[in-house]
Amino acid sequence: MKITIELFGAAREFSNKDFIELNLLQPSSIKDLKNELVKMIDDKFNGNQNFKKIVMSSAFCSENDNIVSDNFKIDKKQTFGIIPPVGGG
């Protein structure tokens, strides 16, 4: 199934668009989605460790604007937002 990930903050570096589309097995979870993003980073960015850290520390937001956990089940074509942690001072 095709999953669209809207990119925010530092995650915008993952693509020249404001989103990424990935294919996941049905059913999957947010944890599976994170693992697929890490694989994409391995392939596209030679395993950039900073990008991997962004993925693993980010929150994911559902189409209903709810933050979802790693165990959230994905069983249909959906759009999620990746929301990296924000640093500041």
Q: What is the pLDDT of residue 89?
A: 44
Give the whole-angstrom CA distance, residue 29 versus residue 35.
Answer: 10
pTM check: above 0.85 = yes
- By mean pLDDT, which of 1-5, 47-51, 82-86 is the weakest? 82-86
Confidence bin at 87 (pLDDT 50/70/90): low
List the chain domain ranges.
Answer: 2-83
- pLDDT tens string 61-79: 999 899 999 999 999 999 9
- pLDDT tens string 1-14: 999 999 999 999 99
Return the CATH superfamily for domain 2-83: Beta-grasp domain (3.10.20.30)
- 3-state helix/strand/coil string of the chain: CEEEEEECHHHHHHCCCCEEEEECCCCEEHHHHHHHHHHHHHHHCCCCHHHHHHHHHCEEECCCCCEECCCCEECCCEEEEEECCCCCC
